[in-house]
Structure 1
Amino acid sequence: MTGPDIGSLRVNGATLHYEVRGRGPLLLLVPGGTGGAASFDGIADDLAAEYTVATYDPRGMSRSTLDDPDAEQHVAEHADDAARILDLLSPGAPARVFGTSSGAIVALHLLTARAERLVRVVAHEPPVVEVLPDAPDHRLLVARVQETLRTEGLMPAMAVFAAGLRKDGDTAGPGAEVGLPSQAAARAERTMADLPYFVGRIVPGFMSYVPDIGRLETLADRLTLACGQDSRGELPYRPAAFLAERLGTELLHFPGGHTGLTTHPAGFGELLRKAFRA
């Protein structure tokens, strides 16, 4: 199978790397964490049988460079990046968008800001912790992570972050399944290179984001909130479950945990296809 078509897009303060596969209606996949476009390698080719599948590295990650590497990161700007990719690749027709983790936060904001551009959004475990009743506890977690990063370094900060996300009594962080596919293992070096930016810029900028729930209520028929079936009890599960209940919509469960996209690609991709056909 031939590889994707690769392009770059100049946006405000950054240059985005993006990849396109297939033909048909546009499906934009928004990565979370430090995944980048490569995090969708396990599902993108199969989805390209039905859709024009676009993936990209978010600004500051991997091959998408920032003009100012020290710039603060904001959800609205990342969502505008996604909108510019939609406008480039599907200027005349609404698109479908899937986002996971921090990418799901981007997808939620994109829906509230540019609803006319979207047929459906599937948001998998968006950690919008500000919607939760115990939001102050999670603000303290983010503050502890930033202080640990400043005083002790990256890996101790990651340990604090992982401990705050896991379920009570669990010794492994969300999605810490073993036996990653070889493609995922090969991405480890790139992931490590992006971790300082993710922890120092994305985590504080995104976990303080407050979604417009009133606006989402008016768009609930275009939004599918989703979680990993193994994520129950973990922090990233809770906001999606809270929003689904608030909006009166079904909570869709994907295989695996927070990183089910990587650990269970076949089942994940098949359920995603079904979600967009619904």
Structure 2
Amino acid sequence: MTLYTKTMGSGPVLLFIVGGNGDSTVFEGVAAQLADRYKVVLYDRAGFARSPVDAVPADKLAADVEDARALLADEPGYVFGSSSGAIVTLELLAKHPSVVLKAVPHEPPLISLLPDRDERLAEMDEVYQLYRTDGPEAAMGLFGKVVGLAQQAPPPGFELPPAMREMMGRSKHNVPFWFDHEFVPYPRHVPDLAALAAAKDQLVLACGDESRGLVAYRPNVVLSERLGLDLVEFPGDHVGYARRPVEFAARLHEVLSSAGTA
């Protein structure tokens, strides 16, 4: 297996871990803003279109963690992960704190932590069953309603950049792969709170300021209460890094700089 990677800039390593679409193109706008201060490393997680695998491991989350750790093998680095990638980021910090300077999990959908988890997981199971019967397009429509993800129409005359158009083409593989291998187990994962508490000085719990009250926002609220950490808001919603990259990058640099090592 060979992971698709893209590196830009110089400075301390900043690794981005992508969510359920599995395609690191979504981070390129933020990465371009930060490449003058960091060695930015983007990669597509194993099994998604540009990082094909012959077989998916039984414990895919553990394998995702080991891939991220391997990308930080040469030197410890900062890690930003969003959505499913935020779950990987939390696990990386819990299992390998020595390779992480600062971990920034952005809206990890750890429904297992929520007081109403049974109800929320039942909704997710309904989405998954719709995927099995009617396919990914129908399931994504219901998923957006269940989790409150806005479908914003582009302005008149707007055209996607070529890289984004290519990414959309890869979604024909990436979305079904996400449903088949992550959609059910990742939200049910129970993080190691003791390990995270031991490494909490390296942890920034990030959420979008437009996501308050939504499913993906709430797990970090629970973690903030259990770990005694402040919740740190970033510009935008669940994909604020793609929709507001300039502001998002500025906020991320501010957060990482406060660690005293950037």
Say yes or no: TM over 0.5.
yes
- Within-5 A mapping of 1:73-92: 74-87=60-73, 91=74
Question: Post-superposition shift, 1:205?
Answer: 2.5
SS of 2:229's partner is coil
Report what 1:176 is aligned to.
151
CA distance in 2, matches of 1:83, 1:162: 31
* Aligned residue among 212, 222, 226 for 2:202: 222
SS of 1:155's partner is helix
* Aligned residue among 26, 29, 40 for 2:16: 29
Give the aligned CA root-mean-square deviation in angstroms: 1.8
> Which residue identity is paired with 1:188?
M
Report what 1:146 is aligned to.
128
CA contact (8 A) 1:175 1:256 kept: no
CA distance in 1, matches of 2:33, 2:195: 33
CA distance in 2, matches of 1:222, 1:116: 10
* Aligned residue among 78, 84, 93 for 1:111: 93
Report what 2:232 is aligned to.
252
C-alpha distance after superposition, 1:58-114 (max 9, x if no partner) = 11112100112x655621111111111111xxx2x3211000111000000000010
* Aligned residue among 190, 196, 212 for 2:176: 196
CA distance in 1, matches of 2:237, 2:151: 8
SS of 2:40's partner is strand
Name the structure with the higher strand share.
Answer: 1
Mark the CA change 1:24 to 1:181 in structure 2 (over 3 Å): closer, same or farther.
farther
Mark the CA change 1:163 to 1:175 in structure 2 (over 3 Å): closer, same or farther.
closer
Question: Post-superposition shift, 1:133?
Answer: 1.0
Mark the CA change 1:129 to 1:181 in structure 2 (over 3 Å): closer, same or farther.
farther
CA contact (8 A) 2:22 2:45 kept: no
Which 5+ residue runs of structure 1 have no aligned equivalent? 1-13, 167-173
CA contact (8 A) 2:25 2:164 kept: no
CA distance in 2, matches of 1:234, 1:192: 27
CA contact (8 A) 2:84 2:109 kept: yes
Report what 1:10 is aligned to.
none
CA distance in 2, matches of 1:73, 1:192: 24
Report whether the alignment pairs 1:58 with 2:45: yes
Report what 1:102 is aligned to.
84
TM-score by length of 1: 0.85
The count of aligned residue pairs is 253
Report whether the alignment pairs 1:43 with 2:30: yes
CA contact (8 A) 2:144 2:150 kept: no
Question: Post-superposition shift, 1:33?
Answer: 2.0
Question: Post-superposition shift, 1:256?
Answer: 1.0
Q: Which moved more, 1:219-228 or 1:186-195?
A: 186-195
CA distance in 2, matches of 1:86, 1:19: 14
Question: Post-superposition shift, 1:139?
Answer: 2.4
TM-score by length of 2: 0.90
CA contact (8 A) 1:75 1:209 kept: no
CA contact (8 A) 2:57 2:63 kept: no
CA distance in 2, matches of 1:185, 1:31: 15
CA distance in 2, matches of 1:112, 1:72: 20
C-alpha distance after superposition, 1:29-80 (max 9, x if no partner) = 1111215221111011221111111000011112100112x65562111111
Question: Post-superposition shift, 1:204?
Answer: 1.2
